[in-house]
């Protein structure tokens, strides 16, 4: 049976696909699952946090960032934040395998699991690079080496995922560390590469 959190996460994604982020009000989201609007703020704090949690959950199940959902956000800074968070969730899920590959590289070099993992990493780097390219094409980001930058950022995300899970297993402790890391990198990317075309939102 789905929890209240899960029902709200499904509802916001479905509603955004139908009417867009701006028109998916907290009232409409709550009505869709026959819940009180106040439940959203009690369980998530805000519509933005509900959306981010929903994207996290979807990225975990599919192991790939849902770019279509991220593009639904009207703020560049939040789009970057959600993109990085989705990639970090992938890193957490695969942290054990990454540690094994790094520790026993000779053993895993030619293994099917190692090749599959590297293929997935390559795919996610391409997704990130494509995201930056699209933002540039839309005039919201300045030009830079999208692919190389994506490789560097993704490498740092994977390293952080491994470090966080090595030191701690309690998700309540890992989550604040993760959010600080994501916001630090999102702020760096936004502050250095945004253009005047972007506009923030609540």
Q: Indicate if 146 and 179 belong to the same structural domain.
A: yes
Counting residues of the chain whose pLDDT is more than 90, the rounded percentage is: 34
pLDDT above 70 (res 88): yes
Q: Indicate if 20 and 113 belong to the same structural domain.
A: no
Summarised one tens digit per residue, pLDDT across range 8-59 is 999 998 898 888 888 899 999 999 999 999 999 999 999 988 887 787 666 5
> Cα 191 to the chain's mean position, in Å?
19
Q: Indicate if 83 and 40 belong to the same structural domain.
A: no
7 CB neighbour count, 10 Å cutoff:
18
For residue 52, is it within any domain? no
Q: Indicate if 82 and 180 belong to the same structural domain.
A: yes
Q: Indicate if 103 and 189 belong to the same structural domain.
A: yes
**Cα–Cα distances in angstroms (integers) from residue 76 to residues 70, 79, 94, 113, 140, in the given order:** 10, 5, 27, 35, 7
The pTM of the full predicted model, rounded to 2 decimals, is: 0.75
Total domains in the chain come to 2
Task: List, in sequence order, every residue forming a beta bridge with 194; answer none if it has no partner.
Answer: 141
Task: Provide the residue range defining the domain that includes 177.
Answer: 64-193
Q: Indicate if 89 and 182 belong to the same structural domain.
A: yes
E strand or H helix at 182: helix 171-193
Q: Indicate if 28 and 80 belong to the same structural domain.
A: no
Three-state DSSP class for residue 141: strand
59 CB neighbour count, 10 Å cutoff:
24
Rounded to 5 degrees, φ, ψ at 167 are -85, -25
CA–CA gap between residue 178 and residue 78 (Å, rounded): 15
CA–CA gap between residue 43 and residue 21 (Å, rounded): 19
- The mean pLDDT value for 102-111 works out to 52
For residue 58, is it within any domain? no
For residue 92, is it within any domain? yes
Q: Indicate if 77 and 161 belong to the same structural domain.
A: yes
CATH number at residue 125: 1.10.357
Picking from 4, 127, 1, 112, the residue whose alpha carbon sits closest to that of residue 64 is 127
Give residue 202's pLDDT: 41
For residue 56, is it within any domain? no
């Amino acid at each position: 049976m789905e929890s209240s959190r899960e029902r709200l996460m499904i509802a916001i994604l479905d509603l955004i696909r139908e009417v867009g982020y701006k028109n998916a009000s907290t009232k409409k989201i709550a009505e869709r699952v026959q819940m009180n609007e106040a439940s959203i703020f009690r369980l998530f704090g805000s519509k933005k946090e509900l959306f981010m949690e929903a994207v996290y959950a979807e990225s975990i199940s599919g192991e790939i960032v849902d770019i279509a959902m991220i593009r639904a956000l009207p703020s560049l800074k939040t789009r970057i934040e959600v993109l990085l968070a989705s990639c970090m969730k992938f890193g957490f899920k695969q942290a054990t395998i990454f540690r094994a590959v790094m520790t026993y590289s000779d053993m895993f070099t030619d293994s099917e699991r190692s090749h599959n993992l590297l293929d997935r990493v390559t795919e996610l780097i391409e997704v990130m690079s494509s995201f930056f390219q699209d933002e540039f094409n839309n005039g919201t980001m300045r030009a830079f080496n999208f692919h190389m930058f994506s490789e560097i950022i993704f490498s740092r995300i994977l390293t952080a995922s491994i470090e966080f899970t090595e030191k701690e297993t309690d998700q309540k402790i890992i989550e604040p560390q993760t959010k600080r890391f994501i916001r630090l990198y999102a702020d760096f990317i936004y502050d250095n590469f945004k253009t005047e075309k972007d506009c923030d939102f609540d």
